[in-house]
Structure 1
Amino acid sequence: MRKITLIVSFLSIISCNTSEKQNSQDFDFTTVFEKSNGTETPTYPEVIAFYKNLAEAYPSIHIQEIGMTDSGNPLHIVTLNPDAVFDFEKIRETKRVLLINNGIHPGESDGIDATMLLFRDIAQGKINAPTATVLVTIPIYNIGGALNRNSGTRTNQNGPKAYGFRGNARNYDLNRDFIKNDTKNAQTFAKIFHVTKPDVFIDNHVSNGADYQYTLTHLFTQHNKLGGELGEYLHKEMHPQLEASLEAKKWDITPYVNVWGTTPEKGWTQFMDSPRYSTGYTTLWNTLGMMVETHMLKPYKPRVEGTYELMKSMIEITEKDGVKIRSLREKTFAKQAKQKAYPIHWKVDTTKVTTFDFKGYEGEYIDSEITGAKRLKYDRDKPYTKEITYKNYFTSTTKISIPQAYIIPRGRWRVIELLTLNHVEFKPLEKDSTITVEVYHIKDYKTRTSPYEGHYLHYGVSIKKDIEKVVFKKGDLIVKTDQKAFRYLIETLEPEAPDSFFNWNFFDAILQQKEGFSPYVWEDKAAELLNNNNELRVQFQDKKKDTAFANNWYAQLDWIHKHSNNYEKAHMRYPIYRVLK
Structure 2
Amino acid sequence: MINSSVFMLTAALTMNDYLPPLEPWQGKSVALMQQQGPLTTEFELSGGVVSPNYEQTMAFVDRLVAANPTQFSVKVIGRSAAGREIKMLVATEQGAAQLTSSAEKPTVLIQAGIHAGEIDGKDAMFMMLRDIATGKRRDILSKVNLLFIPILNVDGHERRSEFNRINQRGPKVMGFRTNGKNLNLNRDYTKLDTEGVRAVLKVINEFKPDLYIDVHVTDGADYQYDITYGFNPSFASDSPAIAEVLESTLSPMIDQQLEQQGHIPGPLVFAMDKRDFKKGIAGWVASPRFSNGWGDLRGLPTILVENHSLKPYKQRVLGTYVFMDGVINALAEHGKLLRSAVEKEQSFIPTELVVERTYSEQPDFIQFKGIKYKQFDSAISGQLEAKYLGEAEHYEKLPIYWQKVVSKSVKVPTAFYIPPAYANIVTKLKIHGIEVEQGDFSLADKQVQQTSIKSYNFANAPFEGRFRVEAEFERSPFEKAQLLPNWYRVKTAQPLGELATHLLHPEAPDSFFAWGEFTTIFQRTEYVENYALEPFARKMLKQNPAMALEFDKKIREDKQFADDPSARMEWLYARTPFYDNAYLKYPILMEFGEK
Distance 1:364 1:543, change over 3 A: farther
2:124 maps to which of 96, 114, 118: 114
In the alignment, does 2:356 pair up with 1:345?
yes
3-state SS, counterpart of residue 279 of structure 1: helix
In 2, the alpha carbon distance for the partners of 1:221 and 1:86 equals 34
Which consecutive unaligned segments of at least 5 residues does structure 1 have?
Answer: 1-25
In 2, the alpha carbon distance for the partners of 1:86 and 1:507 equals 42
In 2, the alpha carbon distance for the partners of 1:542 and 1:87 equals 74
Q: In the TM superposition, what is the alpha-carbon distance from 1:324 to its structure 2 partner?
A: 0.7
Contact 2:232 2:243 (C-alpha < 8 Å) held by counterparts = no
Q: Which residue of 2 aligns with 1:276?
A: 289
In 1, the alpha carbon distance for the partners of 2:302 and 2:392 equals 35
3-state SS, counterpart of residue 586 of structure 2: coil
Q: Which residue of 2 aligns with 1:491?
A: 502
Q: Which residue of 1 aligns with 2:237?
A: 225
Q: Which residue of 1 aligns with 2:413?
A: 403
Matches within 5 A, 1:40-119: 40-58=50-68, 59-89=70-100, 92-119=102-129
| Comparing 463-472 and 168-177, the one that deviates more | 463-472
2:38 maps to which of 28, 34, 37: 28
Letter in 1 for 2:576: S
- Runs of 4+ with >6 A deviation: 431-435
Q: Which residue of 2 aligns with 1:387?
A: 397
In 1, the alpha carbon distance for the partners of 2:80 and 2:445 equals 41
In the alignment, does 2:573 pair up with 1:561?
yes
Letter in 1 for 2:249: E
Letter in 1 for 2:135: G
| Comparing 38-47 and 391-400, the one that deviates more | 391-400
In 1, the alpha carbon distance for the partners of 2:113 and 2:523 equals 40
In 1, the alpha carbon distance for the partners of 2:256 and 2:336 equals 21
Q: Which residue of 2 aligns with 1:236?
A: 248
Distance 1:555 1:212, change over 3 A: same
Distance 1:130 1:340, change over 3 A: same
Q: In the TM superposition, what is the alpha-carbon distance from 1:267 to its structure 2 partner?
A: 2.2
In the alignment, does 2:321 pair up with 1:321?
no
3-state SS, counterpart of residue 131 of structure 1: helix
C-alpha distance after superposition, 1:10-36 (max 9, x if no partner): xxxxxxxxxxxxxxxx98301010000
Matches within 5 A, 1:56-455: 56-58=66-68, 59-89=70-100, 92-127=102-137, 128-223=139-234, 224-259=236-271, 261-336=274-349, 339-348=350-359, 354-381=364-391, 383-392=393-402, 394-430=404-440, 436=446, 437-455=448-466
Distance 1:364 1:88, change over 3 A: same
Q: In the TM superposition, what is the alpha-carbon distance from 1:433 to its structure 2 partner?
A: 7.2
3-state SS, counterpart of residue 135 of structure 2: coil
Q: Which residue of 2 aligns with 1:20?
A: none
In the alignment, does 2:591 pair up with 1:579?
yes
TM-score normalised by the chain length of structure 2: 0.87
Contact 2:451 2:473 (C-alpha < 8 Å) held by counterparts = no
C-alpha distance after superposition, 1:525-576 (max 9, x if no partner): 2222222211111212222202222222211211122222222110111111
3-state SS, counterpart of residue 446 of structure 1: strand
Distance 1:433 1:261, change over 3 A: same
Q: In the TM superposition, what is the alpha-carbon distance from 1:180 to its structure 2 partner?
A: 0.9
Q: In the TM superposition, what is the alpha-carbon distance from 1:130 to its structure 2 partner?
A: 4.2
3-state SS, counterpart of residue 490 of structure 2: strand
3-state SS, counterpart of residue 86 of structure 1: helix
Q: In the TM superposition, what is the alpha-carbon distance from 1:101 to its structure 2 partner?
A: 0.6
The alignment of Structure 1 onto Structure 2 pairs a total of residues equal to 552
Contact 1:43 1:147 (C-alpha < 8 Å) held by counterparts = yes
Contact 2:275 2:375 (C-alpha < 8 Å) held by counterparts = no
Q: In the TM superposition, what is the alpha-carbon distance from 1:329 to its structure 2 partner?
A: 0.5
Q: In the TM superposition, what is the alpha-carbon distance from 1:67 to its structure 2 partner?
A: 2.4
Letter in 2 for 1:286: G
Letter in 1 for 2:106: R
C-alpha distance after superposition, 1:246-281 (max 9, x if no partner): 234332122123125333333222222111111222
C-alpha distance after superposition, 1:174-229 (max 9, x if no partner): 11112111122222122112112112111111111112222121121343223342
In 1, the alpha carbon distance for the partners of 2:394 and 2:422 equals 57
In 1, the alpha carbon distance for the partners of 2:535 and 2:185 equals 55
Q: Which residue of 1 aligns with 2:5?
A: none
In 1, the alpha carbon distance for the partners of 2:284 and 2:237 equals 12
Contact 1:60 1:82 (C-alpha < 8 Å) held by counterparts = yes
1:39 maps to which of 42, 49, 72: 49
Contact 1:217 1:256 (C-alpha < 8 Å) held by counterparts = yes
TM-score normalised by the chain length of structure 1: 0.89
In 2, the alpha carbon distance for the partners of 1:385 and 1:431 equals 61
| Comparing 407-416 and 476-485, the one that deviates more | 476-485
3-state SS, counterpart of residue 258 of structure 1: strand
Q: Which residue of 1 aligns with 2:487?
A: 476
Percent identity at matched positions?
30
Distance 1:153 1:171, change over 3 A: same
Q: In the TM superposition, what is the alpha-carbon distance from 1:113 to its structure 2 partner?
A: 0.7
Distance 1:256 1:310, change over 3 A: same
2:540 maps to which of 526, 529, 533: 529
3-state SS, counterpart of residue 332 of structure 1: helix
- Root mean square deviation of aligned Cα: 2.3
